[in-house]
Amino acid sequence: MAKQKRLGYAVVGLGRIAQKAVLPAFRHSREAKLEAVVSGDASKARRLAARYGASAWYGYEDYDRCLADPRVEAVFIATDNATHARYSVRAAEAGRHVLCEKPMATTVEECREMIRACRNHRVRLMIAYRKYFEPASLALKRLVETGQLGRLKIIHSAFTFLLPRKSRGREWHLQSPAAGGGALVDVGVYAVNSIRWLTGAEPVEASAYPWSADRERFRDAEESIAFQLRFPGGLFAQASASFGAARASFLNVMGEKGWAALDPAYAFDDERRLFGEIGGRWFEKRFPIMDEFALELDALARGVREAEDPEPDGWEGLRDVAVMQAIHRAADDGGWVPIRLP
């Protein structure tokens, strides 16, 4: 059988996540190949292209030239949140497939623009949610889908990390126009998407409480936020996200027959542990660290090859943004607000 040609990618945006996870993932990918990198820093682009074997590097001002390169068939968008839509739409218009980091964009309308552009130009759009592929989360989802936990009643989740005062390359996280929010959109999005994905249900109301210990530093974006989501059928979820605590994450799901927890739940460089109790019997399983970003790269490549929209698609990203906008409205209003999903 002839070997499948690997999908050629350009990585757009060479910040922390690109350097720590996305670029190294091509070494572990079976179906994707790094062809180019794009950055506003020419020396960094040249250096990282050489380190990871990209055949070309470009500045942001040369993005259209990158998209015209026939070796570049898809882009991985890893820029600041406010430019996700811009770079995704331009890629779609050039006939290039799009794998975009989360959150998909800063507004629902930007998400719609991305979906429209990819649909109109017949390219695939995927949002970079690793939980759809990594084994520990899939094992937890099987417990939910097979009814082993019974009817779900409560979900708790949190994701925190300490954003150092001198955080080189990460200060845009504190600038609301660039980020679209603070801890909620950066790490709270993991809980929003995971809860929706696990349950297959959509929340109908949200409430929230934001706070910042350093109000001067976090004047444009919340340092921490706690939020609640109400679902039809009596399910209630509550979660927290913060830039002000040591790195930690968990996802606890409680049903009428049992409960299960994933801890740590969201960081990509920790061994995961799935444990709980069903029918009075304890269970526990450990999942070794693996390259979850390579799984994402390969998933889009398969979608392109098989002419199918990969999961999670743009609509999943859009709905998460809609939920987070409702959470921010609730934080501003101080009460429950309805969530209206497209």
What residues are annotated to the active site? 102, 190
C-alpha 198/C-alpha 229 separation (Å) is 14
One DSSP character per residue, 207-256 reads EEEEE-SSTTTTSSS-SEEEEEEE-GGG-EEEEEEESEEEEEEEEEEEES
DSSP codes of every residue in 128-149: --GGGTSHHHHHHHHHHHTTTT
What is d(CA 119, CA 117) in angstroms, rounded to the nearest whole number? Answer: 5
Cβ within 8 Å of residue 250, ≥6 positions away: 156, 157, 158, 261, 262, 263, 264, 265
User: Could you give the angle at the alpha carbon of 10 between the alpha carbons of 271 and 133, nearest 5°?
Assistant: 30
Give the end-to-end CA distance of the chain in Å, rounded to a whole number: 44
Say if CB 9 and CB 32 are below 8 A apart: yes
169: β partners: none
Q: How far is CA 342 from CA 2, 62, 167, 232, in A?
A: 43, 35, 37, 17
CA 192 to chain centre: 10
Two structure tokens written together for 210: 């934001």
Measured N-to-C along each axis, helices 135-145 and 189-199 cross at an angle, to the nearest 10 degrees, of 40
**Tokens 């530093």 identify what position?**
217
